[in-house]
Amino acid sequence: MAVLSACGSSQSAGSGGSVVATGAPVPLVVYSAQGYDQAMVTAFQKATGIPTKLVDDSTGPLLARVQAERGNPQWGVLWVDGDEAFAALDQAGMLVKNFEPNVQLNAAGQAVVPKDRSYVPTGLTVTAALVYDASKTPNPPTSWQDLLSPTWKGAVGMNDPAVSGPTYPFVAGMFNQLGGDSQGEAFYSSLKSNGLHVFQTNGDTLHALQTGQIKVALIQSSAGIAAGIKDKNIKTAYLPKVTSLPSVIGIDGKVSAQEQAEAEKFASFVLSPQGQQVMLTGDRNGDSLYWPIVQDVTPDPELPALAAVPTQAIDPYVWGPKEGTVNTWFTNTIVH
């Protein structure tokens, strides 16, 4: 309950955009793609008494729903992986700005907070982790350029960024670290010439790895680590550099003052010690395998120290607006 009072105080302690709830509670509608969201909503409702309704689905359908509802939004909180979409929503004026929960973030967390405080990062995974079966592939590649060599011809698989939400940051991250669009396009075109396999989602790419269709899978870190927990031969490595992929909460810009206050309370609760405990335990074989961004919260022991992972953060306000163009290029050139 000490946590709760901390949460409550965060309302008045929050910067400019935060609102103090005064009226009777209204149902807070949470659209979320996180594996631990049901546990979080239950804990939040129990702790605050605010009636909370969850729409739990994959990132793609949720973002489609949010965009279709654009003229008359019905959601209060949107919670999915990847800050690029949130940057684009912010630029379209769809998010509440200037709200920041009153918590101490670590350096990795501070690096992914937007300048206008239009969304709230809640944890980190990275993309793309290199996932392989150590019993079949004892010497995995050690650099991105290795993947273009004859040794790995026809042996590499990844997801389609137009279908799998967490894959666009990987593609954008490669464009970013290689120096720009033309260099990035050249890299993926070479990868295609070397027999790249493109699957729909993490599950499909992992299945191809387990059946031997590919030797290395380029997927989100949490999916690779989860596969490694079930099958000890599956290992996850990080080529320099991988792109950080924050899980993010955004608050609907058209929401009522009462619901905005409740949504801010929800975001603060997620980053509170009690909320972090729910995130770390709510989905042990999936989304709970993340690096916390709150000071002094430690990740699941299955994860290596984040400092040992060669990570880059890309600017979502540069890469977010390019998502449509890059995905269209990828679909037209690499997939078909």
Sign of CA dihedral 294, 295, 296, 299: positive
Question: Peptide bond before 254: cis, by omega within 30 degrees of 0?
Answer: no
CB of 265 vs another protein, minimal distance in Å: 17
- Rule CB under 8 A: is residue 153 a binding residue for another protein? no
Q: Which of 204, 218, 123, 211 is nearest to 168 (CA)?
A: 218
Task: Select the residue interacting with another protein from 168, 187, 188, 317 (CB under 8 A).
Answer: 168
3-state secondary structure 163-194: CCHHHHHHHHHHHHHHCCHHHHHHHHHHHHHC
- Rule CB under 8 A: is residue 106 a binding residue for another protein? no
Task: Select the residue interacting with another protein from 140, 203, 253, 304 (CB under 8 A).
Answer: 203
Taking residue 186's Cβ as centre, other Cβ atoms within 10 Å add up to 12
Task: Select the residue interacting with another protein from 191, 196, 226, 297 (CB under 8 A).
Answer: 226
What helix, strand, coil percent values describe the chain, rounded to 5?
45, 20, 40
CB of 142 vs another protein, minimal distance in Å: 25
CA distance 314 to 242: 10
CB of 114 vs another protein, minimal distance in Å: 17
- Rule CB under 8 A: is residue 63 a binding residue for another protein? yes
Nearer to another protein, 216 or 223 (CB): 223
CB of 198 vs another protein, minimal distance in Å: 9
CB of 249 vs another protein, minimal distance in Å: 16
Label residue 23 exposed, middle or buried (CB < 10 Å: 0-12, 13-18, 19+).
Answer: exposed
Question: Which residues 261-300 are close enough to bind another protein by CB under 8 A?
Answer: 283, 285-286
- Rule CB under 8 A: is residue 158 a binding residue for another protein? no
CB of 231 vs another protein, minimal distance in Å: 4
Q: End-to-end CA distance of the chain: give it in Å, rounded.
A: 55
Stretch that binds another protein, among 4-12, 102-110, 208-216, 264-272 (CB under 8 A): 208-216
Nearer to another protein, 177 or 210 (CB): 210
Spatial CB neighbours of 45, under 8 Å, sequence gap ≥ 6: 51, 52
- Rule CB under 8 A: is residue 162 a binding residue for another protein? yes
Residue 92: its H or E element? none
- Rule CB under 8 A: is residue 32 a binding residue for another protein? no
Nearer to another protein, 148 or 234 (CB): 234
Q: Which of 222, 258, 286 is nearest to 27 (CA)?
A: 258
* 303: its two tokens: 């994860």
- Going by their DSSP bridges, the two strands 77-81 and 242-251 should be labelled as antiparallel
- Rule CB under 8 A: is residue 45 a binding residue for another protein? no
- Rule CB under 8 A: is residue 77 a binding residue for another protein? no
**What residues make contact with another protein under the rule CB under 8 A?**
27, 29-30, 35, 38, 53-58, 60-61, 63-65, 67-72, 74, 84-85, 88, 161-163, 165, 168, 199-203, 206-207, 210-213, 223, 226-227, 230-231, 234, 283, 285-286, 323-324, 327, 331-332, 335-336
